[in-house]
Structure 1
Amino acid sequence: MADHTPPGHALSLSAGCVLDLEPAETVGIAAASGYDLVGVRLANPRAQRDAVARALADHPVGLLDVEVVRLGADPLTDHDRALAETAADLGARFLLTVSDEPDEDVTTARVAELVDLLRGAPTRVALEPMRFTGVRTREAAERVARAAGATVLLDPLHLHRTGDDPARPADRALTGYAQLTDLADPGTTPPDLAHEARHDRVPPGHGGLDLGAFVAGLPPAVPLAVEVQSDRLRATTAPLERALMLRLAAETVLRGTA
């Protein structure tokens, strides 16, 4: 495992930082750039599983999460089930889940189905709230997670965009892990929040979010997934250089909280 990270929170390279790579390549880049953990986004989980498993066996990083189950009003799809089964097979700590269904009871039922699928596996369902999805707020995600037996994934960008205070202490019993990212201009709200989240993030500590206060409000030692989806960085830096730069930026934030 990497020995660079300041004590307290293991760092993971999120898939979104290097979407120009195949999932198995992401594992190697995470190891080469000094992360403790890695996340992968699987478009075809059954076809990609073996390559990711080989990469994990070859490199000293653990698998934090598999992305992403997008829930709706309909029952779980074969793709949803394949993602859950593959996450369990690979030993992922979490299955990253979002819901596009605004009916909280329906979302709770769907999350509970995923939880049942993963019963006995090392993988837990992590529900991420975002303003542009059906589960918009931290409070809504916590209600669903509490009822369904899941966990919550917190991202300071999404908390800020819902008007929540990222520094507000997280629920220790429900928060499985968190993401570390930043916004260039938190005071300005763009017309398309989904586009901002998927294309315009900046490295931790390079924007205006108070990430030190966010980290201080998290449960001790929860993993932190560095999540910086940035068209600019993708166009100007190679994946290894990008991953290393983002790790160093995250570590600078964490040292400031020590």
Structure 2
Amino acid sequence: MADPAGPSSPTLSLSAGSVLELSPDGVVRCAAEAGFPLAGVRFTDPRAQAPAVADAVRRTGVRLLDVEVVRLGPAGVTDADRRLADTAAVLDAAFLLTVSEDPDEGRTTASVAALAEILAGSATRVTLEPMAFTAVRSRAAAERIARAVPGTVVLPDALHLHRMREPLDAPWPAELVGYAQLTDAGPGAHPESAELLAHEARHDRVPPGDGVLDLAGFLAALPAGVPLAVEVQSDVLAAEHAPLDRAVLLRKAASAVVTGGS
């Protein structure tokens, strides 16, 4: 797979989380109709669903930015994780999105290394996403793990960085970021519990530019040209807009943020 971004301007991807009611191949088709050149997919049965995704990619020309999601636990890489990694590689996805629910950083690092070994020789790389309600809950921890496993990158998400109380405008090393997730947060109080943080991330996001996050600072801190996955899991948007209309709305909102409203 070729580099999914140009040398300077970010390329937008429709994240699976923004249109969760769609099948994986449906996300690819929706991305194409909404004007996204990239898409991310979330599988429930990778081997059964992969052929339809491959067909949608072939027919639409949309490329796969990421495949979701490996949730690493204390038991390490499972057979289900291996199947998902194999599917990501076969589909030529650029990244395999990974989070950790293992509180032992050493074990998490070993599991990430095991995933990277499965993907060796393919175009797919492991990306580790830090979140305040997972075991990797700081940027520093995610960077340590990524640096320990060559080829692994960190996935910055504007909402998660904000909720981890990380500065959005702190620059990222180019070698540690493959893409980023663009989203926004409403003006409400900072959720204090893991349950509330997870609920916000999965149900209460708002379109880029409609919230309170310093997205201009976030974008300026990223390496030039990294793709931006537009991930807005919102019960409000899902109730008000059909998937395609929602995807178009989010593409327009993201484009306005990226271009500074021009």
Partner Cα separation in structure 1 for residue 189 and residue 176 of structure 2: 29
Partner residue, 1:159: 161
Partner Cα separation in structure 2 for residue 35 and residue 190 of structure 1: 35
Which runs of structure 1 show a deviation greater than 4 angstroms over 4 or more consecutive aligned residues? Answer: none
Pairing of 1:175-254 with structure 2 (within 5 A): 175-185=177-187, 187-189=189-191, 191=193, 192-254=196-258
Question: Is the CA contact 1:28–1:59 (under 8 Å) kept in the aligned structure 2?
Answer: yes
Partner residue, 1:118: 119
With over 3 angstroms needed to count, the CA separation of the structure-2 counterparts of 1:186 and 1:147, relative to structure 1, is farther
Using the size of structure 1 for normalisation, the TM-score is 0.95
What is the deviation of 1:75?
A: 2.7
**Are residues 1:44 and 2:34 paired?**
no
With over 3 angstroms needed to count, the CA separation of the structure-2 counterparts of 1:248 and 1:190, relative to structure 1, is farther
Partner Cα separation in structure 1 for residue 169 and residue 235 of structure 2: 27
What is the deviation of 1:148?
A: 1.4
Percent identity over paired residues:
57
Using the size of structure 2 for normalisation, the TM-score is 0.94
What is the deviation of 1:189?
A: 2.8
Count residues with an aligned counterpart.
253
What is the deviation of 1:10?
A: 0.3
Partner residue, 2:3: none
What is the deviation of 1:20?
A: 0.7
Structure 1 unaligned blocks of 5 or more:
none
Pairing of 1:20-99 with structure 2 (within 5 A): 20-99=21-100
What is the deviation of 1:77?
A: 1.1
Deviations 1:71-97 (A, max 9, x none): 011031111001000000000000000
Give 1:170's aligned amino acid: W
Deviations 1:196-245 (A, max 9, x none): 00000000000000101100100000000000000111111000000000
Instruction: Say which SS state the counterpart of residue 48 (structure 1) adopts.
Output: helix
RMSD of aligned C-alpha atoms?
1.4
